[in-house]
């Protein structure tokens, strides 16, 4: 007799073997059993429209048949080799053709790993130690990245606040924190310490907050002025905002970019891409032992992830894909705002049609502190009601996908109305 376990059973089992009862990524009380197209099902069989989509990589939806076919063709040929493989080279060629800053790239397995190496690469290239990041910016789990990501205590800039235990004070000393979208502050900070700064790392869309007009160009100009490596964290925005990423959409090119999520087609794959003279520090024969940056990874550039990424990118190049993705996002934004307007609930829809969120505030949202001061208890209640009504999403982001159907929009619109009524 088939033994079918409930979600509650799995929660109990997880608590004995996983710290906190989960993987550390999401609500540990949620166990997803299946995903197909725009939908996911939990272990109790409840069905949801999926706006989490694996935290971004499933842009085509779950189990796209062409991606599955490409993966199935590769699997009997080998899953990983720790040696060069042709599929990884083909994917690198396509990324370098698509992304403005990408002359060369190096593969890793996660976006956080890519960010860590990008910062180290900037230090190797410049011979400097200090790094500027923006308060609220997410760049993975390295010690540098875990500074002022989500501080509960707001301190004076440029002081860094560690988000995790186990980070030495020496790391904090080399991190400078700035407010996003504040040109005057970044100018003044660089006037004082610019000649000590190796890297300026930024999400071109910081979580959900768009750059104000001219802000990214200011960062480009100031980085050039002080000889700083400008890094775009495009792990989320790469191949989502446009085929060339946020740097193509916004028209400002960094020196390095980190990529992930979409380029692996649902498998573990990420990359650091950028100028050849900076990327040369991965090549000992080009820069010498003293300036060489060691990097290796067991699964980096594995052929299964590479073929999944290649097929995903081939589909994204087809006519009308980005127009449709943006139309899907705009429709969701309009439905959410209309539902909240009926109840006269103050809110802002913040972000880009390809990635956005509702912020419950009457004030403009320009940086982390504007989100921090919003009515986040109301947001939590709203998201809980959405979940109860078949909408699965992150607490802080909505990821539209290309798999959404008319039925999905109808279900989501009804959930928005119920969520708005519940928090009115």
Clarify whether residues 182 and 331 are in a common domain: no
Clarify whether residues 353 and 310 are in a common domain: no
Kindly report the number of other CB atoms within 10 A of residue 136's CB atom. 22
- The 10 Å CB-count burial string (b at 16+, else e) for 71-99 is beebeeeeeeeeeebebbeebbebbeebb
Residue 196 lies in a domain: yes
Residue 3 has what pLDDT? 60
Domain boundary pick from 316, 339, 373: 316
pLDDT in tens, 121-133: 999 999 999 999 9
User: 4: pLDDT confidence band, cut at 50, 70 and 90?
Assistant: confident
pTM above 0.75, yes or no: yes
Residue 223 lies in a domain: yes
Please give the average per-residue pLDDT across 173-196, as a whole number.
98
Clarify whether residues 236 and 346 are in a common domain: no
Could you tell me the CA-to-CA distances from 131 to 17, 30, 145, 176, 229 in Å, in that order?
Answer: 37, 37, 10, 6, 10
Sheet containing strand 47-50, edge to edge, reads 32-36, 39-42, 47-50, 391-392
Active site residues: 138, 233, 261
Q: What's the domain range around 145?
A: 66-316
User: 369: pLDDT confidence band, cut at 50, 70 and 90?
Assistant: very high
Residue 2 has what pLDDT? 55
Clarify whether residues 91 and 235 are in a common domain: yes
pLDDT in tens, 239-262: 999 999 999 999 999 999 999 999
Structure tokens at 233: 């964290």
Residue 388 lies in a domain: yes
Residue 107 has what pLDDT? 98
Answer yes or no: are the C-beta atoms of 87 and 310 closer than 8 Å: yes
Provide the mean pLDDT of the chain: 97
Clarify whether residues 261 and 217 are in a common domain: yes
Q: Where are the beta strands (DSSP E) in 59-157?
A: 104-108, 130-134
Q: Where are the beta strands (DSSP E) in 7-75?
A: 32-36, 39-42, 47-50
Residue 293 half-sphere exposure, CB side, CA atoms within 13 Å?
20
pLDDT at 365 over 70: yes
Please give the average per-residue pLDDT across 372-381, as a whole number.
97
Question: How far from the centroid of its chain's Cα atoms is residue 238's Cα?
Answer: 9
Cα distance between residue 379 and residue 396, in whole Å: 9
Clarify whether residues 359 and 309 are in a common domain: no
Residue 236 has what pLDDT? 98
Residue 348 has what pLDDT? 98
Domain boundary pick from 316, 348, 377: 316
pLDDT at 144 over 60: yes
Residue 115 lies in a domain: yes
Residue 20 lies in a domain: no
Peptide bond into 203 cis (omega under 30): no
Residue 16 lies in a domain: no
Q: Which of 386, 324, 382 is nearest to 353 (CA)?
A: 324
Clarify whether residues 269 and 165 are in a common domain: yes
Residue 320 has what pLDDT? 98
Could you tell me the CA-to-CA distances from 272 to 31, 91, 104, 166, 257 in Å, in that order?
Answer: 32, 13, 8, 26, 6
Residue 1 has what pLDDT? 45
CATH number for the domain that contains residue 129:
3.40.640.10
Clarify whether residues 302 and 417 are in a common domain: no
pLDDT in tens, 181-192: 999 999 999 999
Percent of the chain with pLDDT over 90: 99
pLDDT in tens, 30-60: 999 999 999 999 999 999 999 999 999 999 9
Residue 4 lies in a domain: no
Clarify whether residues 251 and 139 are in a common domain: yes
CATH number for the domain that contains residue 366:
3.90.1150.10
pLDDT at 78 over 60: yes
Helices vs strands, H then E, count in the chain: 15, 13
Clarify whether residues 47 and 102 are in a common domain: no
Residue 402 has what pLDDT? 98
Please give the average per-residue pLDDT across 291-307, as a whole number.
96
Clarify whether residues 151 and 208 are in a common domain: yes
pLDDT in tens, 339-350: 999 999 999 999
Q: Which of 249, 234, 278, 233 is nearest to 124 (CA)?
A: 278
Domain boundary pick from 296, 316, 336: 316
Clarify whether residues 97 and 192 are in a common domain: yes
């Amino acid at each position: 007799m088939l033994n079918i376990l409930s979600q509650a059973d799995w929660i109990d089992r997880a608590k004995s073997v996983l710290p906190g009862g989960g993987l550390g990524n999401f609500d540990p009380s949620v166990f997803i059993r299946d995903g197909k197209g725009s939908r996911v099902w939990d272990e109790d069989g409840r069905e949801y429209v999926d706006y989490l989509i694996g935290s971004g990589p499933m842009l085509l939806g779950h189990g796209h048949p062409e991606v599955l076919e490409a993966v199935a063709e590769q699997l009997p040929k080998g899953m990983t080799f720790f040696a060069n493989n042709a599929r990884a080279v083909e994917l690198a060629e396509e990324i370098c053709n698509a992304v403005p800053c990408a002359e060369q790239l190096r593969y890793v397995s996660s976006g956080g790993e890519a960010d860590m190496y990008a910062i180290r690469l900037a230090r190797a290239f410049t011979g400097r130690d200090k790094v500027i990041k923006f308060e609220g910016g997410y760049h993975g789990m390295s010690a540098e990245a875990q500074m002022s990501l989500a501080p509960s205590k707001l301190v004076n800039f440029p002081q860094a606040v560690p988000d995790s235990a186990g980070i030495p004070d020496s790391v904090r000393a080399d991190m400078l924190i700035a407010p996003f979208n504040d040109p005057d502050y970044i100018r003044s900070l660089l006037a004082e310490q610019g000649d000590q700064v190796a890297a300026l790392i930024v999400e071109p869309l910081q979580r959900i907050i768009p750059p104000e007009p001219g802000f990214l160009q200011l960062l480009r100009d100031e980085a050039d002025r002080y000889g700083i490596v400008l890094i775009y964290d495009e792990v989320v925005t790469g191949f989502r905002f446009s085929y060339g990423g946020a740097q193509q959409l916004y028209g400002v090119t960094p020196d390095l970019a980190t990529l992930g999520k979409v380029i692996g087609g649902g498998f573990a794959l990420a990359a650091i891409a950028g100028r050849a003279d900076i990327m040369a520090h991965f090549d000992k024969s080009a820069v010498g032992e003293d300036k060489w940056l060691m990097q290796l990874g067991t699964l980096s550039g594995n052929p299964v992830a590479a073929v999944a990424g290649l097929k995903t990118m081939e589909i994204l190049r087809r006519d009308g894909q980005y127009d449709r993705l943006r139309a899907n996002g705009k429709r969701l934004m309009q439905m959410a705002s209309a539902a909240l307007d009926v109840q006269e609930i103050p809110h802002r829809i913040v972000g880009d049609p390809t990635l956005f969120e509702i912020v419950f505030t009457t004030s403009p949202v320009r940086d982390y502190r504007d989100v921090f001061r919003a009515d986040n208890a109301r947001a939590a209640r709203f998201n809980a009601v959405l979940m109860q009504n078949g909408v699965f999403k992150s607490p802080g982001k909505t990821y539209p996908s290309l798999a959404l159907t008319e039925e999905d929009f109808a279900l989501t619109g009804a959930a928005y109305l119920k969520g708005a009524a519940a928090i009115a």
